């Protein structure tokens, strides 16, 4: 009986430990983001207060400044938001079309050097953005497409294609071959078989690949910071730096813009999460 | 006809190949060429001045470059290993949870969706020595009297940057390893229990080998964008104080855009590209090995 008791105590102890560890991990994940959100609603005086004020008051000053035209320090947030949206949506749409056809080729056809093609594509993705930005900056300047939406869209399409191929390859592979064979026996062409049978099955997977591509473009900084210069094409990650002057930083304004950046991303994450994991693991494990 | 001679798979892959060639391959060839010239942004004609391998020789004898290179390799080693260990730990913790697992998994995905630049800003704010959350907490609770110079002191700045990087990327590992744990068959675990294995033995000889491919997928995905650390460093310290947090990527961008020495910067770029590609090839190789093992082992 004594042994039973110590055993039970040990188990209870482990349970408490497990809970504590989990709680710690989750707080470390959540607190930095929440802190940004909380501070976007606090007046600047309170953010800068020394000693710190611990119970936050509520003010919409930063949002009002951000959306009220030019905003504090003249940061044109609306233009940045629009640029980000245009560039991300268009580049995602193109990347998905190109990536889907590539992914389909990898999933359905056998050809020589298949894995080499695949790794080759991935290696292009591995080129660091900063390193790529140097020659792109020069080439784009010569072509006159620096500081335009078109240039940035082109770059983001190239950046998203390899990963889209990886994901869609995984999704198409999960669909049994018999499905499109049956459709072809019933008189569909391969093209029709794809759009009428295979695409609807893989649709949710493709959608999550699209959301992933969208987020990559939405969040990208290294290339955008060099390839965009003016209000007409700067995206939000680049615009975030507008709040920093040489020695002063508008913390509250930055927090507000950060919230504006992260809200769409979080909403999309909720939608995508299940398929994303499935796509990555299927593409990787069952290759 | 032309169409008939090309195999279908090639036609399907063609758009991808064209885009990659136009946006990545051609600029890279151009930068390879310019890394052998004395090209400066301010003097366009210098693009045609061929100086052979002088840029590379200069880099290889430059102490600053080697310091940045060594720091980058050290940074990646520490960060990747810690991310793997923490990710594995978190996945095991979450796997044991009996309710609310879905919510926890969603929370785990949050950092993945943060823009690296945003992560950098967020931790710049939190680690700020004057108004940052960390110092405020430390001082209010009386753990430390003076404000710790998180981003001003070289060592502490490096720690802060690593913290930001790990915060951002551990979830990639946690999520994928968790997916592996979900996919794991129950029978071998029960058999091990019947045979009297300790939980450590079960973990070491059954769980871990099964998780290996998932770990390598995570590593491969991670190795594709190790250079995201550039965004974080750029906004948190800009490579300072006094180059203490200079990584190869920030050094490159400063040489290229601030000093306008594109030829030299491109030569550095090539070193960093090789570094990334080696990482990626290594993990792809491991991935296919693990995959083969899984294929034969069931």
Where exactly are the structural domains of chain A? 2-63, 68-285
| Cα separation, A262 vs A88, whole angstroms | 14
| Cα separation, A48 vs B286, whole angstroms | 50
**Which of A32, A81, A237, A282 is the best substitution to test chain B (most B C-beta atoms within 10 A)?**
A32
What local confidence, expressed as pLDDT, does residue A1 receive? 56
What local confidence, expressed as pLDDT, does residue A174 receive? 81
What local confidence, expressed as pLDDT, does residue B279 receive? 84
Report the gap between the CA of A104 and the closest CA in chain B (Å).
8
| Cα separation, B241 vs B157, whole angstroms | 8
Contact B117 A221 (CB under 8 A): yes
User: Would you say B31 and A134 are in contact if contact means Cβ atoms under 8 Å apart?
Assistant: yes
Contact B27 A132 (CB under 8 A): yes
pLDDT in tens, B184-202: 888 888 888 888 888 888 8
How many other CB atoms are there within 10 angstroms of residue A174's CB atom? 15
| Global confidence as pTM | 0.87
| Cα separation, A78 vs A235, whole angstroms | 10
User: Could you tell me the fold of the domain covering B63-297?
Assistant: MetI-like fold (1.10.3720)
Give, to the nearest 10 degrees, the angle between helix A251-285 and helix A199-219: 140
Contact B104 A128 (CB under 8 A): no
What local confidence, expressed as pLDDT, does residue A77 receive? 83
Q: Which of B122, B104, B143 is nearest to A27 (CA)?
A: B104
Report the gap between the CA of B256 and the closest CA in chain A (Å).
7
Q: Which of B271, B243, B65, B64 is nearest to B158 (CA)?
A: B243
Q: Please indicate whether residue B140 or residue A94 has the higher confidence score (pLDDT).
A: A94
Between A102, A273, A285, which is nearest B12 by CB? A102
- pLDDT tens digits for chain A (287 residues)? 566 778 888 888 888 999 999 999 999 999 998 888 888 888 888 887 777 777 777 888 888 777 775 545 567 888 888 999 999 999 999 999 999 999 999 888 888 888 888 888 888 888 888 888 888 988 888 888 888 999 999 999 999 999 899 888 888 888 888 888 888 888 888 888 888 888 888 887 888 888 889 988 999 998 998 898 888 889 999 988 888 776 678 888 888 888 988 888 888 877 777 777 776 666 655 54
**Which of B86, B110, B115 is the best substitution to test chain A (most A C-beta atoms within 10 A)?**
B115
| Cα separation, A136 vs B18, whole angstroms | 16
Look up residue B38 and give its two tokens.
């004395």
| Cα separation, A136 vs A132, whole angstroms | 6
User: Would you say A43 and A59 are in contact if contact means Cβ atoms under 8 Å apart?
Assistant: yes
Strand partners of residue A244: A249
Q: Element (H or E) spanning B85, and its range?
A: helix B63-96
What local confidence, expressed as pLDDT, does residue B1 receive? 46
Residue of A nearest to B224 (CA): A126
pLDDT in tens, B49-95: 888 888 888 888 888 899 999 999 999 999 999 999 999 999 999 99
Look up residue A198 and give its two tokens.
């295979």
Q: Element (H or E) spanning A86, and its range?
A: helix A77-108
Between B12, B130, B133, which is nearest A35 by CB? B133
Q: Which of A84, A144, A34, A124 is nearest to A264 (CA)?
A: A84
Report the gap between the CA of B266 and the closest CA in chain A (Å).
7
What local confidence, expressed as pLDDT, does residue B278 receive? 87
Contact A158 B19 (CB under 8 A): yes
Q: Which of A210, A194, A176 is nearest to A101 (CA)?
A: A194
* Burial of A68 per CB tally in 10 Å (0-12, 13-18, 19+): exposed
pLDDT in tens, B242-291: 788 889 899 988 888 888 888 889 999 888 888 888 888 888 888 877 77
Look up residue A42 and give its two tokens.
């606090």
Contact A131 B31 (CB under 8 A): yes
Long-range contacts of A25-33 (CB under 8 A, 24+ apart): A25/B90, A25/B93, A26/B104, A26/B107, A28/B167, A29/B107, A29/B108, A29/B110, A29/B111, A29/B167, A29/B171, A30/B107, A30/B110, A31/B133, A32/B122, A32/B123, A32/B126, A32/B167, A33/A262, A33/B110, A33/B114, A33/B122
User: Taking the domain A68-285, which CATH number applies?
Assistant: 1.10.3720.10
Between B20, B140, B230, which is nearest A222 by CB? B230
Collapse the DSSP code of A235 into the 3-class scheme (helix H, G, I; strand E, B; otherwise coil) and give the result: coil
Q: Please indicate whether residue B170 or residue A277 has the higher confidence score (pLDDT).
A: B170
Between A117, A128, A287, which is nearest B227 by CB? A128
User: Which of A63-72, B21-30, B32-41, B122-131 comes out lowest in average pLDDT?
Assistant: A63-72
> What are the angstrom distances between the C-alpha of B249 and each of A28, A105, A237, B282?
28, 35, 18, 21
- In the DSSP assignment, the letter for residue A188 is -
Collapse the DSSP code of A14 into the 3-class scheme (helix H, G, I; strand E, B; otherwise coil) and give the result: helix
Residue B157 has pLDDT above 80, yes or no: yes
- Across the range B221-231, mean pLDDT stands at 84
Report the gap between the CA of B100 and the closest CA in chain A (Å).
12
Contact B179 A47 (CB under 8 A): no
What local confidence, expressed as pLDDT, does residue A96 receive? 94
Look up residue B83 and give its two tokens.
């991310």
Give the CA angle between residues B116, A81, A43 to the nearest 5°: 75
Contact A25 B294 (CB under 8 A): no
């Amino acid at each position: 009986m004594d042994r039973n008791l110590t055993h039970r105590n040990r188990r209870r102890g482990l349970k408490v430990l497990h809970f504590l560890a989990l709680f710690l991990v989750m707080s470390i994940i959540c607190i930095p983001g929440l802190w940004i959100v909380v501070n976007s609603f606090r007046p600047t005086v309170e953010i800068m207060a020394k000693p710190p004020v611990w119970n936050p008051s509520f003010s919409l000053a930063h949002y009002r400044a951000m959306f009220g035209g030019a905003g504090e320090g003249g940061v044109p947030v609306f233009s940045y938001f629009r640029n980000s949206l245009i560039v991300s949506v268009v580049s995602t749409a193109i990347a998905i079309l190109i990536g889907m056809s590539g992914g389909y080729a990898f999933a359905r056809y056998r050809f020589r050097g298949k894995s080499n093609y695949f790794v080759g594509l991935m290696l292009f993705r591995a080129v660091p953005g900063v390193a790529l930005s140097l020659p792109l900056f020069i080439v784009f300047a010569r072509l006159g497409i620096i500081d335009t939406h078109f240039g940035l869209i082109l770059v983001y399409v190239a950046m998203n294609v390899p990963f889209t191929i990886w994901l869609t390859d995984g999704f198409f592979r999960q669909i049994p071959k018999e499905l499109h064979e049956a459709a072809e026996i019933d008189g569909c062409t391969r093209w029709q078989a794809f759009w009428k049978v295979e695409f609807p099955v893989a649709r949710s997977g493709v959608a999550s690949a699209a959301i992933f591509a969208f987020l990559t473009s939405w969040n990208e900084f290294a290339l955008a910071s060099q390839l965009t210069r003016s209000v007409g094409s700067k995206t939000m990650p680049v615009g975030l730096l507008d709040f920093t002057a040489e020695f002063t930083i508008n913390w509250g304004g930055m927090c507000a813009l950060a919230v504006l950046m992260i809200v769409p991303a979080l909403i999309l994450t909720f939608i995508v999460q299940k398929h994303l994991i499935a796509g990555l693991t299927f593409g990787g494990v069952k290759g | 006809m032309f169409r008939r001679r090309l195999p279908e798979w090639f036609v399907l892959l063609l758009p991808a190949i064209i885009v990659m060639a136009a946006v990545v391959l051609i600029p890279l060839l151009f930068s390879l060429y310019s890394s052998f010239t004395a090209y400066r942004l301010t003097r366009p004609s210098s693009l045609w001045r061929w100086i052979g391998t002088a840029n590379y020789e200069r880099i290889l004898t430059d102490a600053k470059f080697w310091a940045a290179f060594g720091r980058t390799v050290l940074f990646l080693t520490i960060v990747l290993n810690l991310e793997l260990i923490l990710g594995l730990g978190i996945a095991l913790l979450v796997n044991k949870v009996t309710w609310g697992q879905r919510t926890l998994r969603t929370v785990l995905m949050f950092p993945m969706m943060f823009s690296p630049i945003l992560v950098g800003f967020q931790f710049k704010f939190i680690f700020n020595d004057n108004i940052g959350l960390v110092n405020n907490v430390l001082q209010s609770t009386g753990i430390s009297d003076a404000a710790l110079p998180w981003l001003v002191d070289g060592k502490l700045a490096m720690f802060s940057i690593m913290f930001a990087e790990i915060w951002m990327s551990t979830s990639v590992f946690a999520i994928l390893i968790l997916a592996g744990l979900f996919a794991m068959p129950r029978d071998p675990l029960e058999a091990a229990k019947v045979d009297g294995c300790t939980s450590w033995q079960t973990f070491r000889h059954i769980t871990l080998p099964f998780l290996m491919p998932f770990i390598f997928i995570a590593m491969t995905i991670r190795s594709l964008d190790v250079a995201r650390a550039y965004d974080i460093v750029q906004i948190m310290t800009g490579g300072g104080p006094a180059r203490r947090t200079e990584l190869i990527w920030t050094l490159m961008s400063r040489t290229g855009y601030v000093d306008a020495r594109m030829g030299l910067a491109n030569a550095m770029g090539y070193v960093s590209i090789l570094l990334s590609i080696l990482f990626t090839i290594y993990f792809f190789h491991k991935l296919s090995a693990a995959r083969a093992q899984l294929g034969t082992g069931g």
